[in-house]
Chains A and B, each alone.
Chain A
Amino acid sequence: MNAHPYLRAYMAGITVPTMALLLALTVFCIARLGYHVPVPIERLLVFPMAIVPNLFGLWNILYVRVGSGRRLPIGLHGALLPFLVVPLAFTIASSLGFLTFGQEALVLFDALRIPYSRLAVIFPGTVVIYYLVWKHLVGFFNELLGIA
């Protein structure tokens, strides 16, 4: 099965964030409708719905494109993606107005305060999650589609 490897890489890449989007949307809807957190869902969803799946797909195409001789293990390849995603997410969130930089903390949706000291934990945690997701989920879909 060697036909269209980049198309299959793209499909394998977008599967996980597309499924995660359902979870994210559920959490944000509960926060918005159940707990009345002022979450602007329509603006919030731009990044996780449109940009993240495409980045996953393109990152997986890059993984396939590099070739088996030179590429990193898929977990490490995926662990590099937050270095692109997180700054992009912060830029878009602040430009859309639901992330503001306070003196001591980030403020999300004018409701959730995250001290800067916590960011030192959040970013490595994100890298670890991406490593696990890419190694075990994206890698699984790559195998299933015959491109691993």
Chain B
Amino acid sequence: MSEANEKEPRELLKSAFSPMGDAELQRDLWPQALRRLDERAIQAPWFDWALAAGVLAWLLWFPESLPVLLYHM
């Protein structure tokens, strides 16, 4: 294919695809996610700690419950 013949499909391709000048993300999202992770300390009321302790005791007392629990988690 000669140079002249290649020119026309190249121009057609260029006109078909919009320029990709703005393809980069405007900002990096990872630092924002890290900042949110840092902002959030563990804030659980005593009631939740008591429930968590109860669940732990339950699993230690009835270890056969674990497969049942894992099955629907």
Given contacts A112-B67, A125-B58, contact A82 B48 (CB under 8 A): no
CB-CB under 8 A from B54, the residues of chain A are 128
In the complex, A85 has a CB within 8 A of chain B: yes
Query: Across the interface, do B72 and A122 meet the contact criterion of CB distance under 8 Å?
Result: no
By the criterion CB–CB under 8 Å, are A93 and B71 in contact? yes
| Interface size band for B | 20 to 34
Please give the distance in Å from A48's CB to the nearest CB on chain B: 6
Judged by a CB distance under 8 angstroms, whether B68 is at the interface is: yes
Which residues of the other chain, B, contact A133 by a CB distance below 8 angstroms? Answer: 73
Chain A residue total in the interface (Cβ 8 A)? 35
B36 located at the interface, meaning its Cβ lies under 8 Å from any Cβ of chain A in the complex: yes
Nearest to A39 among chain B residues (CB) is: B67
Cβ contact within 8 Å between B73 and A17: yes
The 0/1 profile, CB within 8 Å of B marked 1, for residues 22-54 of chain A is: 011001100100000000000010011000100
A103 vs chain B, min Cβ distance (A): 18
Nearest-neighbor residue (CB-CB) of A140 within chain B: B40
Q: Is B33 an interface residue (CB 8 A)?
A: yes
State in angstroms the CA–CA spacing of A17 and B70 once bound together: 10
Q: A131 touching B33 by the CB < 8 A rule?
A: no
Q: Are A89 and B71 in contact (CB under 8 A)?
A: yes
Known: A125-B55, A140-B40. A48 touches B73 (CB 8 A): yes
